[in-house]
């Protein structure tokens, strides 16, 4: 892995022709001898004392920001604090890089289009053991650490579970002393900022960089040139016919480094994100001629590549921009890693230095890119290049939905990356030769397994390419991996059964317990000691305490304290007055029909309808506060209509005196990691209700269980493993399992039959259809109702009866506080398996073959 300060080979526009990029004290090829003791000594952090911290903080405030404490703004203070913490980490970061270069151990290069990091200040203080010192130091300066922490803007670098998982994984690898560099894109505007106007989602730009980002370090001198378009040509290389790419245009990728500290171990790994810039950003002649917009056109065009996370791809231009993004960041990343190995390194040995982990299909274009580098730039023959490439990649699949497996049109790939398409064609030709050899007369199989799809349009199946090239293919939960082998990639699993494995996801206990839930964390530490933070299986020691009345009382008190913190947070953030004396029933995740927020809403409306119609007395209903958090993709019309319906139901229910004190519904806008850190510790009930066989894993389900919420869920994704670990008595199971879902789909699913046969369900849908939640207008939510009654792809109506019955079991258990708390403690005690540290150990053992560096 290259050091954070080690430049890679930069293109001409960055480095003047008469200068060579140099490492260390060089100038024009002349090396100067270091004589000063400080130049020879290791980099040292500031003193680990309150006075040392104050001195460093004031130095940053005064000299870096140029402001006195008495005249500083809150943003000045936050920036100086962030730089101070960064300075403490820098010495460890540089030392990590030095050790890396000494032995060049095998590294993990994690390629991910998303990193949903969350706020960095609290996590970095925790990892460096500086929280108490920083709080005392700032207090002595008349400042509040809590106030400055609230100033931080969350990096908008991810959309949901995929990015949150990537952030957990790089945290765990640093904590476990495993060499790792994360690679991704520095999006100028992250996932949109969600607001509600009349209950409907409105997307606003997420200007997370508006005030700068003190955690990143830019290295424009280490920029990488990335080419696009053009054509290919063959030429003679001493009797060997070779191919080269003649691109039509290019951009620069500028690296921004982020430190990824391990927890209390001194290791600091690197997250390197790439920002796109033009190679010729400004044309002075055009500017002087008066065409100011044209003068910066190249800059605007180039910067679009890293402008927005997941640009809307319903247009041809949007699709092209997405492919540009994906190739841009993997081309930068591969070049960066390879150049960091030194000029004399033999790339035939690259599999001994790195494993590139493909986090879903977004980075799979890295496969032909590595082949191109080996073939066209380093002169390896095809067999040599493929022998290297086929040992350097591993692929994690995160979906079971066919539409989520990327397929790029041959026309677009050929126009944007012509050399890569040629390489993909040859990979496919040789792969199909193997298929023919294995199954000589099975012509239909050839079509099913071809990397190139022929129908409805010619396209490159990126999941197939990753499977052919990867040393391993893994799913992210036991059920998901089984379905991946049996259904999604079954032909490939039949050809290479040894290539398929499972690594169940996990979450970092540092952020999602220690940092997010100090009340529970302190209780756990008092009970079993502090070692559980890096050895989460030790939570099993809490199991006997589930029967201890004093521990149960303390656990209940911690949960209540978290509800108060959440109430205070939402009061300021959203002007929401959250009850703290009711069951907190939470469903937070991306808004997608398969996740079935509609099923949760049908339960709420059903409960409300039964009270409003007099079938049930309000006094007989368990008081509940329902909280939703979800964003819908801007082009996903049905998802946005569901959000509108949730907000409309909430508006009516919350203002109806008939259910006052019994039902409340809240949907705080712009759900993110920061809100999750407040909401998850406060939750009583975790809604994990996707249709069985649809959710790959989920990680929210793990976070809720580890923080003492009980789960109501289907046997889907990692729910299966949660239920097996915590026991049926401590999990509210409902609904069809995956085989029954498949069987019902095969027989023909008719949701209208469930609507007609279940009076409670019919009354619920009829109330929505009547316009009760839309000011009497029955057409407002007609698309949602019609979709459920006539289509219901994800079988919410089929599972409704079972779901309502399970909710009755929830009410019964909640009516016995001791029994509920006992189950909640057992959820915490038995879910240590879901640490991302364990996930990393599984990746190391089953896929990567890397080792910690001590």
Residue of 86, 420, 590, 596 marked active site: 590
Residue of 164, 353, 372, 589 marked active site: 589
Q: Is the CB of residue 764 less than 8 Å from the CB of residue 695?
A: no
Residue of 674, 699, 714, 821 marked active site: 699
Could you tell me the CA-to-CA distances from 633 to 23, 103, 285 in Å, in that order? 45, 45, 42
SS3 state of residue 180: strand
Buried b (16+ CB within 10 A) or exposed e, 167-197: bbbbbbbbbbbbbbbbbbbbbbbbbbbbebe
Could you tell me the CA-to-CA distances from 92 to 86, 102, 169 in Å, in that order? 10, 15, 20
User: What CA–CA distance (Å, rounded) separates 61 from 67?
Assistant: 6
Residue of 322, 472, 514, 595 marked active site: 595
CB burial of residue 137 (10 Å; 0-12, 13-18, 19+): buried
Nearest Cα residue to 616 out of 815, 808, 810: 808
Residues 454-461: contacts with CB under 8 Å, at least 24 apart? 457/409, 457/410, 458/409, 458/410, 458/411, 459/407, 459/408, 459/409, 459/410, 460/407, 460/408, 460/409, 460/410, 460/413, 460/421, 460/424, 461/405, 461/407
Tokens describing residue 63? 């000299």
User: What CA–CA distance (Å, rounded) separates 620 from 616?
Assistant: 7
Nearest Cα residue to 635 out of 206, 203, 187, 159: 203
Q: Which residues have a Cβ under 8 Å from the Cβ of 804 and sit 6 or more positions away?
A: 603, 606, 760
User: What CA–CA distance (Å, rounded) separates 606 from 245?
Assistant: 62
User: What CA–CA distance (Å, rounded) separates 380 from 261?
Assistant: 38
Percent helix, strand, coil in the chain, to 5, is: 55, 15, 35
Q: Which residues have a Cβ under 8 Å from the Cβ of 143 and sit 6 or more positions away?
A: 77
User: What CA–CA distance (Å, rounded) separates 251 from 73?
Assistant: 37
Tokens describing residue 233? 């040509």
Q: Is the CB of residue 502 less than 8 Å from the CB of residue 163?
A: no
User: What CA–CA distance (Å, rounded) separates 587 from 590?
Assistant: 10
User: What CA–CA distance (Å, rounded) separates 422 from 242?
Assistant: 13
Separation of first and last alpha carbons in the chain: 16
699 among known catalytic residues: yes
Q: Give the total residue count for the chain.
A: 854
> What residue has token string 């095969």?
746
Q: Which residues have a Cβ under 8 Å from the Cβ of 89 and sit 6 or more positions away?
A: 45, 124, 128, 259, 261, 268
Computed over its alpha carbons, how large is the radius of gyration of the chain? 28
Residue of 272, 419, 596, 703 marked active site: 703
Residue of 86, 164, 186, 398 marked active site: 398
Tokens describing residue 792? 């219901």
703 among known catalytic residues: yes
Q: Which residues are catalytic?
A: 398, 589-590, 595, 699, 703
């Amino acid at each position: 892995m290259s050091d954070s300060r080690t430049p890679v080979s930069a293109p001409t526009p960055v480095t003047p022709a008469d200068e060579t990029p140099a490492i260390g004290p060089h100038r024009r090829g002349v090396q100067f001898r270091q004589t000063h003791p400080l130049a020879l000594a290791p980099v040292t952090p500031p003193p680990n004392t309150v006075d040392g911290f104050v001195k460093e903080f004031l130095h940053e405030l005064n000299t870096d920001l140029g402001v006195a404490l008495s005249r500083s703004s809150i943003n000045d203070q936050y920036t100086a604090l962030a730089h101070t913490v960064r300075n403490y980490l820098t010495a460890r970061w540089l030392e990590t890089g030095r050790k890396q270069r000494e032995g060049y151990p095998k590294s993990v290069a994690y390629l991910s289009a998303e990193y949903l990091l969350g706020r960095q200040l609290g996590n970095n203080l925790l990892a460096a053991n500086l929280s108490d010192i920083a709080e005392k130091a700032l207090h002595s300066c008349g400042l509040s650490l809590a106030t400055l922490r609230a100033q931080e803007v969350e990096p908008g670098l991810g959309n949901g579970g995929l990015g949150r998982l990537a952030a957990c994984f790089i945290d765990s690898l640093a904590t476990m002393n495993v060499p790792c560099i994360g690679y991704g894109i520095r999006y100028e505007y992250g996932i949109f900022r969600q607001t509600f106007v009349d209950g409907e989602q409105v997307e606003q730009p997420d200007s997370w960089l508006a005030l700068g980002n003190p955690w990143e370090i830019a290295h424009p001198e280490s920029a990488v040139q990335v080419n696009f378009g053009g054509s290919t040509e063959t030429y003679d290389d001493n009797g060997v016919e070779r191919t080269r790419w003649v691109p039509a245009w290019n951009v620069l990728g500028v690296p921004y480094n982020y430190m990824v500290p391990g927890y209390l171990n001194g290791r600091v790994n690197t997250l390197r994100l790439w920002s796109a810039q033009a190679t010729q950003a400004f044309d002075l002649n055009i500017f002087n001629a008066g065409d100011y917009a044209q003068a910066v056109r190249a800059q605007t065009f180039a910067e679009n590549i890293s402008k927005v996370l997941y640009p809307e791809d319903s247009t041809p231009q949007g699709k092209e921009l997405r492919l540009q993004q994906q190739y841009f960041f993997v081309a930068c990343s591969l070049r960066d890693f390879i150049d960091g190995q030194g000029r004399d390194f033999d790339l035939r040995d690259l599999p001994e230095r790195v494993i590139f982990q493909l986090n879903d299909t977004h980075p799979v274009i890295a496969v032909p890119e590595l082949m191109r580098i080996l073939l066209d730039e380093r002169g390896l023959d095809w067999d040599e290049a493929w022998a290297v490439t086929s040992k350097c990649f591993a692929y994690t699949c995160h979906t079971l939905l066919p539409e989520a497996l990327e397929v790029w049109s041959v026309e677009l790939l050929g126009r944007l990356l012509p050399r890569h398409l040629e390489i993909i064609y040859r990979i496919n030709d040789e792969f199909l030769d193997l298929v023919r050899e294995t199954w000589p007369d099975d012509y239909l199989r050839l079509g099913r397994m071809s990397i190139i799809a022929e129908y409805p349009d010619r396209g490159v199946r990126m999941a197939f390419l990753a499977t052919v090239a990867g040393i391993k293919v893994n799913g992210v939960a036991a059920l998901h991996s089984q379905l991946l082998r049996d259904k999604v990639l079954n032909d490939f699993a039949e050809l290479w059964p040894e290539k398929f494995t499972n690594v169940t996801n996990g979450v970092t206990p540092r952020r999602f317990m220690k940092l997010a839930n100090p009340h529970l964390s302190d209780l756990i530490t008092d009970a079993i000691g502090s070692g559980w933070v890096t050895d989460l299986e030790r939570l099993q020691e809490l199991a006997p305490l589930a029967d201890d009345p004093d521990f149960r009382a303390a656990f209940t008190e911690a949960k209540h304290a978290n509800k108060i913190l959440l109430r205070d947070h939402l009061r300021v953030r959203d002007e929401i007055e959250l009850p703290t004396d009711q069951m907190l029933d939470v469903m937070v995740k991306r808004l997608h029909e398969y996740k079935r927020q509609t099923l949760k809403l049908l339960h709420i409306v059903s409960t409300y309808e039964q009270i409003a119609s007099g079938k049930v007395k309000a006094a007989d209903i368990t008081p509940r506060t329902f909280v939703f958090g979800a964003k819908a993709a801007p082009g996903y019309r049905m998802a946005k209509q569901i959000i509108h319906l949730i907000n409309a139901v909430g508006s009516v229910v919350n203002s109806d005196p008939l259910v006052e004190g019994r039902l409340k519904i809240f949907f705080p806008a712009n759900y993110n990691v920061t809100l999750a850190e407040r909401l998850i510790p406060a939750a009583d009930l975790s809604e994990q209700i996707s249709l069985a066989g649809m959710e790959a894993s989920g990680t929210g389900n793990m976070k809720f269980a580890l923080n003492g919420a009980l789960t109501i869920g289907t046997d889907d994704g990692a729910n299966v493993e949660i239920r097996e670990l915590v026991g049926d008595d401590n999990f509210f199971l409902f609904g069809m399992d995956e085989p029954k879902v498949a069987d019902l789909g095969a027989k023909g699913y008719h949701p209208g039959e469930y609507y007609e046969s279940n009076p409670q369900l019919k009354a619920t849908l009829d109330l929505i259809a009547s316009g009760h939640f839309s000011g009497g207008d029955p057409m407002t939510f007609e698309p949602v109702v019609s979709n459920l009654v006539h289509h219901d792809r994800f079988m919410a109506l089929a599972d409704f009866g079972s779901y309502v019955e399970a909710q009755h079991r929830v009410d019964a258990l909640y009516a016995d506080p001791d029994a509920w708390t006992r189950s909640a403690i057992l959820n915490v005690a038995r879910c240590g398996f879901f640490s991302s540290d364990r996930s990393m150990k599984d990746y190391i053992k089953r896929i990567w073959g890397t080792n910690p560096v001590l």
